[in-house]
Amino acid sequence: MKITGVETIQLDNFPNLLWLRLHTEDGQTGLGETFLGPESVSAYVHETAAHQILGLDSRDIEGIRHRLRDTYVGFSGSGVEMRGASAIDIALWDLLGKHSGLPVAVALGGRTRNEIALYNTCAGYGYVRQKYGQTGPSSWSINGDATGPYEDLDGFLNRPAELAASLLDEGISAMKIWPFDQAAVESGGLDITAEQLAAGIAPFEAIRAAHGSDMKIMAELHSMWLPGAAQKIARALEPLDIYWIEDPIKMRSMDVLADFTSNVNLPVAASETLGTVEAFRDLINRRAADIIMLDLGFTGGLSEGRRIGNMAEAAQLPITAHDCTGPVVFAASVHLSMHLPNALIQEAVRAFYTGWYTEIVTQLPHIDHGMVSPPDGPGLGMELRPEVFKRADLRQRVSNWEG
């Protein structure tokens, strides 16, 4: 099944996302996705990657993985090359599933479960929709153009107990919030005042006071803090039985992260920002985190994700897949969670999967009373909606095989 075309798709109204389709000689397409810098990733895909994979058998996923990583630069980290390779790898697994008639979870080697618990990342409809926006209040877009019942970022800032009640009513018993980001922006992550600490702790206290242990709460720090300030936050959170504290510091040194983790009495989750199996090897070998979190759109796709999950399993560590980006990585992550025996819980954003995700793809993972399972059908179980290709903000680029 030779690859005959590599297509990238961008929508100006979703300026951080890139979708990728691989076309094969039998007319089949495989769908991939990545997040941040889509114009740069698209340039890499067409200037470099396409010429390396056009004409190859799409079923040779491992060979293509090695070919894309066997470069002079760009083979490590989560930069443009790795994000492009991630989208390609996800699309290759989608194709393999379609050609074999199997869901990706089965094509990976089979399921260890049929569904997994999800937690709600409490973002709103416009979260990280601005170009270049990713962390801090500048990316929050509270009460933007898109509206609906799930403006959950405004909810955790202003009505945390009510928000938790809404989630529990839907059967969702875990939630992630990030009320410390504004303080990090103000101090550059260097320190946090007693007043800022009290303000950040308040939503956690309100949820605990109203709902006791019924709700698991994750604290997201977005890698915005230096270790000293992050330790102050962690120690203030310790009495509140936080499920995990996520990316408390920059992922620049596994030694520093390991030291942080050993000095706090909360589980530490890290890190969606890392790319490649080698980076996660160092994280795991140093026991620098208690929960291994990866993003399939950043770290090399499903091939690398499965390897990272296997390494974590050997080290007796749980794994969790990040999704606060796009619908294709969400579906791929759910498939991976079905496959890996040490998958702990799956991230989801209800403002996204009930909102703009439905504008982009034909089918989404099934969510029922706090549990999620993959879409039906072979491969990922989804396609880009036909309406995507009629949008005024559409930008497409195609590289074709001339063999």
What CATH number did the domain enclosing 165 receive? Answer: 3.20.20.120
152 and 254 in one domain? Answer: yes
Q: How far apart are CA 82 and CA 294, in angstroms?
A: 13
Q: How far apart are the first and last CA of the chain?
A: 14
CATH number of the domain where residue 73 is located: 3.30.390.10
348 and 269 in one domain? Answer: yes
195 and 153 in one domain? Answer: yes
Instruction: Specify the pLDDT at position 140.
Output: 64
- Report the amino acid identity of residue 281: R
Q: What predicted TM-score, i.e. pTM, was given to this entire model?
A: 0.96
114 and 79 in one domain? Answer: no
Q: How far apart are CA 292 and CA 298, in angstroms?
A: 14
- Residue 351 inside a domain? The answer is yes
Indicate the DSSP class of residue 2. Answer: B
- Residue 236 inside a domain? The answer is yes
162 and 54 in one domain? Answer: no
- Residue 19 inside a domain? The answer is yes
C-alpha distance from residue 254 to each of 259, 298, 300, 304, 329 (Å): 8, 18, 20, 19, 26
- Residue 378 inside a domain? The answer is no
> pLDDT tens digits for 260-312?
999 999 999 999 999 999 999 999 999 999 999 999 999 999 999 999 999 99
164 and 113 in one domain? Answer: yes
218 and 112 in one domain? Answer: yes
7 and 151 in one domain? Answer: no
- Residue 366 inside a domain? The answer is yes
Q: How far apart are CA 262 and CA 190, in angstroms?
A: 20
77 and 182 in one domain? Answer: no
Provide the number of structural domains found in the chain. Answer: 2
**Do the beta carbons of residue 301 and residue 88 sit within 8 Å?**
yes
- Residue 21 inside a domain? The answer is yes
Interstrand relation of 116-121 and 346-348 (parallel, antiparallel or unpaired): parallel
Q: Is 318 helix (H, G, I), strand (E, B) or coil?
A: coil
325 and 213 in one domain? Answer: yes
Q: Which residues of 310-323 are buried (b: 16+ CB within 10 A; e: fewer)?
A: ebbbeeebbbbbbb
Which residue range(s) make up the domain with 83?
3-101+383-400
19 and 141 in one domain? Answer: no
Measure the CA angle with vertex 241, ends 152 and 247; round to 5°. 65
Per-residue pLDDT of the chain (403 residues; tens, 9 = 90+): 899 999 999 999 999 999 999 999 999 999 999 999 999 999 999 999 999 999 999 999 999 999 998 876 777 888 899 999 999 999 999 999 999 999 999 999 999 999 999 999 999 998 988 776 556 666 666 655 567 899 999 999 999 999 999 999 999 999 999 999 999 999 999 999 999 999 999 999 999 999 999 999 999 999 999 999 999 999 999 999 999 999 999 999 999 999 999 999 999 999 999 999 999 999 999 999 999 999 999 999 999 999 999 999 999 999 999 999 999 999 999 999 999 999 999 999 999 999 999 999 999 999 999 999 999 999 999 999 999 999 999 999 999 998 7
**148 CB contacts (<8 Å, ≥6 apart)?**
125, 351, 354, 355
388 and 343 in one domain? Answer: no
